[in-house]
Chain A
Amino acid sequence: RKEVEQDPGPFNVPEGATVAFNCTYSNSASQSFFWYRQDCRKEPKLLMSVYSSGNEDGRFTAQLNRASQYISLLIRDSKLSDSATYLCVVYDTNAGKSTFGDGTTLTVKP
């Protein structure tokens, strides 16, 4: 079993749709959690951090459930420009190790 697991998709949605991605992690010592975005043949870039209290940035909402070791990302009112691969990242500060999920691919269509 992988340390960080994501549904690979692909998710194909129309513009304006709401889409949710899930991620589970196995290392209970993990302290920090993030969503990164990676466009085709480009490097990953931070989308947002994930907090237990939930956090929102415009159309994006991230949520963390430590008890269930589960992370989610919700995208509302999808835009064509949201098409990318979304990577769930779990960080063990003590070990200095970032573990990336394999990513979920989103394609938003007109």
Chain B
Amino acid sequence: GAGVSQSPSNKVTEKGKDVELRCDPISGHTALYWYRQSLGQGLEFLIYFQGNSAPDKSGLPSDRFSAERTGGSVSTLTIQRTQQEDSAVYLCASSLWLADNEQFFGPGTRLTVL
């Protein structure tokens, strides 16, 4: 079956522009997670959704970052007024339930802010 998909796969933008990253989780998965990974670094947890709800947004790096999920499916991560330090790979994962063992990751969106 289809796995987690993310779009775009690559995004190059200029400093100060807004970007929107999209994640399509595996159908039926109720939990969705966003991470970012800088070159050579581990994964930084950003936010999770249980259904359409994100109970804890404290992992988002700044108020320029926001995320939403609609219909219990697609999620978008929006970064406003991008900065060079936002450059990273943004990974989305989904799992059947919030406490499920296995998170399935998408291929990521590589964001480059010039």
Contacts and interface: CB of A to CB of B under 8 A. Distances in A.
Given A49-B101, A97-B59, A100-B35, A43 B42 contact: no
Given A34-B101, A93-B99, A100-B42, A43 B107 contact: yes
B102 A99 contact: no
Interface of A: 32, 34, 42-46, 49, 87, 91, 93, 95-103
A32 B101 contact: yes
Interface stretch (B13-21, B48-56, B61-69): B48-56
A67 B98 CA distance: 25
B42 A87 contact: yes
Q: Secondary structure at chain B's binding surface: helix, strand, loop or mixed? A: loop
Nearest to A94: B99
Interface in B26-71: 31, 33, 35, 41-45, 48, 50, 55-56, 59
B103 A46 contact: yes
Contact of A99 (B45, B56, B106): B45
Contacts of A42: 107
Contact of B43 (A44, A49, A91): A44
B108 interface: yes
B55 to A, nearest CB: 7
B82 to A, nearest CB: 22
Given A43-B91, A43-B107, A45-B105, A93 B43 contact: no
A64 to B, nearest CB: 14
